[in-house]
Amino acid sequence: MTDRTRPETDLTRPVLSVRDLAVQYYTDDGPVRAVNGVSFDLMPGEKLGLVGESGSGKSTMALALMRLLRAPTTITGEVMLDGDDLITLPERGVRQLRSSKISMIPQGAMNSLNPVTKIEKQIIDTLEDHGGRRDKRELLGLARDALESVGLRRSVGKMYPHELSGGMKQRVCIAIAVAMQPQVVIADEPTSALDVVVQRQVMDTILKLQEELGVAVILIGHDMGLMAQTVDRLAVMYAGKLAELSPIHDIFADPLHPYTELLIESLPKLADRGTFRGIPGLPPSLRSMPSGCLFHPRCPKAFDLCTELAPDYLESEPSRFVACHLHQSQESHAVRR
Ligand code: SF4
């Protein structure tokens, strides 16, 4: 296998630093904020989970981090990756960073591969697009290495996407995402539309590569059980904002935000087989957000202040960030992350 070492990484500094990220779409009915003031740090080699209901802004945020959103959209804030701000960097610079420093395993592999191009060529195209000039033999070697790294035979490179199963296609997408050995990989619901056994295999492939390459992973999904087994920290998103971000053990042992608590309570348990507890109500429409805390219409712990004032997102305990009035006191660290 080709040498996969890369320059020394400073393990004490975030590899990705996101501050006040906001995404606004312009629709016929006016502007809509799909992501609103999101801030977090991602450490080298960290596995960060990102959960939330459909429409909470998870995938929009992923696309914003990759600068893959197109007009009519505006992205504001700061996304620092290895000294570059992905929000203000000219398109040419962002193109160079995509795949080489930050890459994405997309949702639904079926639609992201080119149906009329052989797999090997699709990997080589990515390497050529983002990795500068290399000779043909080297590119072919790297493409084959990438396939083997995700447990696929080299001969798969000679096939077209329609000749592969869903799980194989998703592995090809993983191979393309890691072919350039990026520092950050965003996996957007990488196992959706796959059956349970294949889901496990695909997740194992991502985790094996994460360990081998020391890459930091943002795993997007809504499966709290999968997150519990997989990630180091979990970020919970609600209506375009972060509700809570905590180490995974802490979040399950003692969730701070009432929404996190309800998400955990909605997990099926062996003890009460057959009883599912859902979260009451629906997420708000992005076109008409409630006043105060966006979760207040559904929150069982809401009190007067919640309807009037939006809580800040603060570090309420060391390494634990939450946006809820229940955790905002004089002692709260006034540090925005
Ligand atoms: Fe519930 Fe109030 Fe906390 Fe919002 S701020 S989550 S409404 S308790």
Instruction: Give the Å distance between the CA of 310 and the centre of ligand 1.
Output: 9
Instruction: Report pLDDT for 271.
Output: 66
Residue of 295, 309, 314, 321 to mutate, ligand 1, most atoms within 8 A of C-beta: 295
Residue carrying the six token digits 């994405």: 104
* Ligand 1 neighbours by CB, cut-off 6 Å: 257-258, 293, 295-296, 299, 301-302, 306, 311, 324-326
Residue of 259, 293, 307 to mutate, ligand 1, most atoms within 8 A of C-beta: 293
Residue 3 has pLDDT above 70, yes or no: no
Mean pLDDT confidence for 194-222:
89
pTM greater than 0.75 (yes/no): yes
Residues 6+ apart with CB under 8 A from 220: 49, 50, 51, 58, 59, 62, 186, 187, 188, 189
Residues 6+ apart with CB under 8 A from 212: 4, 149
Ligand 1 atom closest to residue 293's alpha carbon, by position in its atom list: 4
pLDDT digits (tens, 9 = 90+) for 164-203: 998 899 999 999 998 888 999 999 998 887 788 888 888 9
Q: What is the 3-state secondary structure (H, E, C) of 255-296?
A: CCCHHHHHHHHCCCCCCCCCCCCCCCCCCCCCCCCCCCCCCH
Residue whose CA lies nearest to ligand 1 atom number 3: 324
Mean pLDDT confidence for 248-257:
97
Instruction: Give the Å distance between the CA of 301 and the centre of ligand 1.
Output: 6
Residue with more model confidence, 278 or 112: 112
> Which of 285, 326, 276, 331 lies closest to 305, judged by CA?
326
Mean pLDDT confidence for 136-146:
90
Residue 337 has pLDDT above 50, yes or no: no
Instruction: Tell me how far apart the alpha carbons of residues 67 and 220 are, in angstroms, rounded to a whole number.
Output: 17
Instruction: Tell me how far apart the alpha carbons of residues 150 and 208 are, in angstroms, rounded to a whole number.
Output: 9
Mean pLDDT confidence for 229-254:
97
pLDDT digits (tens, 9 = 90+) for 85-124: 999 999 989 988 988 899 999 887 667 899 999 999 999 9
Ligand 1 atom closest to residue 257's alpha carbon, by position in its atom list: 6
Residue 336 has pLDDT above 50, yes or no: no
Average pLDDT, the chain: 88
Q: Which residues pair with 16 in a beta bridge?
A: 42, 81
Instruction: Give the Å distance between the CA of 229 and the centre of ligand 1.
Output: 28
> Which of 175, 44, 183 lies closest to 105, judged by CA?
175
Instruction: Give the Å distance between the CA of 302 and the centre of ligand 1.
Output: 5
Q: Which residues pair with 74 in a beta bridge?
A: 24
Residue carrying the six token digits 């949702």: 107
Angle value at C-alpha 246, between 241 and 247, nearest 5 degrees: 145
End-to-end, the C-alpha distance of the chain in Å comes to 39
Mean pLDDT confidence for 213-231:
92
Q: Where are the alpha helices (DSSP H) in the chain?
A: 58-65, 91-97, 109-112, 119-131, 136-149, 166-178, 196-213, 224-230, 248-253, 258-265, 304-308
Ligand 1 atom closest to residue 301's alpha carbon, by position in its atom list: 8
Residue whose CA lies nearest to ligand 1 atom number 7: 296
